[in-house]
Chain A
Amino acid sequence: MSDFTIFLIDATVKSVIIIITLLTGFAYATLLERRFIALIQQRIGPNRAGPFGLLQPVADGIKLFFKEDIVPLQADKVIFTLAPAITAVPALIVLAVVPLGGEVNLFGYKTTLGLANINVGVLYILAVTSISVYGIVLAGWSSANKYAMLGGLRSSAQMISYELAMGLSILAPVMLTGSMNLQDIINAQKDVWFIFIQPIAGIIFIITMLAETNRTPFDLPEAEQELTAGYHTEYSGMKFAGFFMAEYIKMIAVSAIAASLFFGGYRLFGLENLLGGWMGPFILGAKVIAGLMFMIWLRATLPRIRYDHLMAFGWKVLLPLSLANAVVTAVLLALGMFPAFA
């Protein structure tokens, strides 16, 4: 077999595994959310379908599948149908550049855990997240519904505004390592996580990642009291499931990215080298679950922020703060007063 064929098979197998993992992860993230919130609110939560409610996601899937698929008469049918796909695809492909582990040996075939180890990985993440705005704004517009339109405009304005602060906070690990390659960034955190070296950038990233995924306290697109259900008001059945899936897969993806940028990625005190390197994905998975539970906990704790407060917070607090942090880090690095991790 030629090198190109091997590369093609390698990439295809890895892509399929990543996508199946994400889809399964989405199904069980919904169950995790419902059970964990029930625990916090002293309820029981879904526990009827299967042991501990483990078959609940399957039941939900079947229900959504058999629902009537309604397309509004005035809707732009092509875009109305495409919008859930445009939302879901960026969420599925953003993990392509995140390293899932070190090099492993599979029956004599050496391969690196992770799909693509590219030099502009951080830029790829920013590019893909900037594309995911389209699905939401187009869903709102194509529904031919005032509430959907306002919800779509609101959430896309929110995502664009918080993307800036997010980009600037990602700059901190990039400057510390002098590389936009996520593998380099994770390797540099072998001894100490970047959240301890760059706490401001880390906290800003966590706040903006909540805004990017439209989670509480930034879930204004779904402010039911004002906008019914926001951009997905008119959606039902599997198309609605597309948006639902995108939200949870985005949560998984941003947790994995946050773990890689600020919490050491798949590394944990050298434990990732156990089992011939196969521990890496499990360590990253544990960190992702921790991130998901943090986001769910926030949803159970915090109220929703008013829209103008949200915009003011993004533009007047987060953006200047992240800019100042980037400038101070750059100056300290140039003066040699900051430990470099290159």
Chain B
Amino acid sequence: MPGVILFAILALVAILSAIGMLTSTNAVHAALFLVINLACIAVFFLGLSAPFLAMVQVTVYAGAIMVLFLFVIMLLGAERVPLSSRLRWQAPLAIALVLALLAVTLLVAFSPQVQGNLVNPRPVPPEAQGFGSPQAVGETLFARYLLPFQMVGLLLLVAMIGVVVLTKDERKPTGHISENAQASDRAA
């Protein structure tokens, strides 16, 4: 029962922060609402007995990626979002699509045909208990999916080198690091 109450509160916070992100006219506020949303999702991972994912979610998304977003917004002074946007026509479409998604989700959650719905949840099988532990994630990444994992790593390395090359100063090196190179290092 405490779990359900916690879930309800967090779900409300997550939804409200998502709405806040979409409706705020200040880009910094929008980014902060997104941070709250990501933190809520991290707690959901905890509730699903995946503590490793929860912590990584906070460290990587809330702690690294969103800070970089904030950096860019602040350095460019781009926090004011223009009110008259060319994307106005998207709003009614988005509302329609959200309602459709909501309808399908509710249908699945309460339909008697679906096994393990909200009314009678399926018990968690014993072999799935430790699936979110660091050991389980590590074994899956480094044993079962080793090659794809290494290839993603290579791809990221290439992107990183590309960023360094693109932001390199054209002038003679003076032994002084430019602000750009640092920003791209962090981005990579």
Interface residues of A (CB under 8 A from B): 4, 76, 79, 118-120, 123-124, 126-128, 130-131, 133-134, 137-138, 141, 149, 153, 156-157, 160-161, 180, 308, 311-312, 315
Which residues, 34 to 84 on B, are CB-close (under 8 Å) to A? 35, 51-52, 54-56, 58-59, 62-64, 67, 70-71, 74-75
> What's the Cα separation between A24 and B168 when bound, in Å?
49
**Nearest CB of A to B20, in Å:** 12
**Nearest CB of B to A241, in Å:** 23
Of A4, A126, A153, the contact of B71 (CB 8 Å cutoff): A153
Instruction: Give every chain A residue within 8 A of B169 (Cβ-Cβ).
Output: none
Instruction: Evaluate contact between B74 and A127: CB separation under 8 angstroms.
Output: no
Task: Tell me the number of A-to-B contacts counted with CB atoms below 8 Å.
Answer: 76
> What's the Cα separation between A76 and B2 when bound, in Å?
37
**A120-B51 contact given A141-B74, A157-B182, CB 8 Å threshold:** yes
Of B55, B63, B176, the contact of A133 (CB 8 Å cutoff): B63
Instruction: Give every chain A residue within 8 A of B52 (Cβ-Cβ).
Output: 120, 123
Between-chain CB contacts (< 8 Å), 13 pairs: A76-B28, A119-B51, A120-B134, A123-B51, A123-B52, A126-B55, A130-B58, A130-B59, A130-B63, A133-B63, A157-B71, A161-B182, A161-B186
| 9 A-B pairs closest in CB distance | A130-B63, A123-B55, A127-B58, A127-B59, A120-B51, A127-B55, A130-B59, A141-B74, A120-B55
> What's the Cα separation between A53 and B134 when bound, in Å?
49
> What's the Cα separation between A126 and B57 when bound, in Å?
11
**Nearest CB of B to A231, in Å:** 12
> What's the Cα separation between A133 and B54 when bound, in Å?
19
> What's the Cα separation between A157 and B59 when bound, in Å?
16
> What's the Cα separation between A206 and B53 when bound, in Å?
27
Instruction: Give every chain B residue within 8 A of A308 (Cβ-Cβ).
Output: 176-177
Range of interface residues on B (Cβ < 8 Å): 20 to 34
> What's the Cα separation between A305 and B56 when bound, in Å?
32
Q: Is B129 at the interface (CB under 8 A from chain A)?
A: no
> What's the Cα separation between A182 and B84 when bound, in Å?
53
**Nearest CB of A to B78, in Å:** 12
Which residues, 108 to 125 on B, are CB-close (under 8 Å) to A? none
Instruction: Give every chain A residue within 8 A of B25 (Cβ-Cβ).
Output: none
Instruction: Give every chain B residue within 8 A of A4 (Cβ-Cβ).
Output: 2
Instruction: Evaluate contact between A153 and B75: CB separation under 8 angstroms.
Output: yes
Q: Which residue of B lies closest to A122 (CB)?
A: B55
Which residue of B54, B67, B133, B185 has the most chain A CB atoms within 10 A of its CB atom?
B67
Q: Which residue of A lies closest to B52 (CB)?
A: A120
Instruction: Evaluate contact between A131 and B63: CB separation under 8 angstroms.
Output: yes
Instruction: Give every chain A residue within 8 A of B185 (Cβ-Cβ).
Output: 315
Instruction: Evaluate contact between B59 and A126: CB separation under 8 angstroms.
Output: yes
> What's the Cα separation between A118 and B50 when bound, in Å?
12
Instruction: Evaluate contact between B35 and A180: CB separation under 8 angstroms.
Output: no
> What's the Cα separation between A127 and B67 when bound, in Å?
13
Of A76, A124, A160, the contact of B55 (CB 8 Å cutoff): A124
Q: Which residue of A lies closest to B67 (CB)?
A: A133
> What's the Cα separation between A130 and B55 when bound, in Å?
11
Instruction: Evaluate contact between A149 and B74: CB separation under 8 angstroms.
Output: yes
**A137-B67 contact given A126-B59, A130-B58, A153-B74, CB 8 Å threshold:** yes
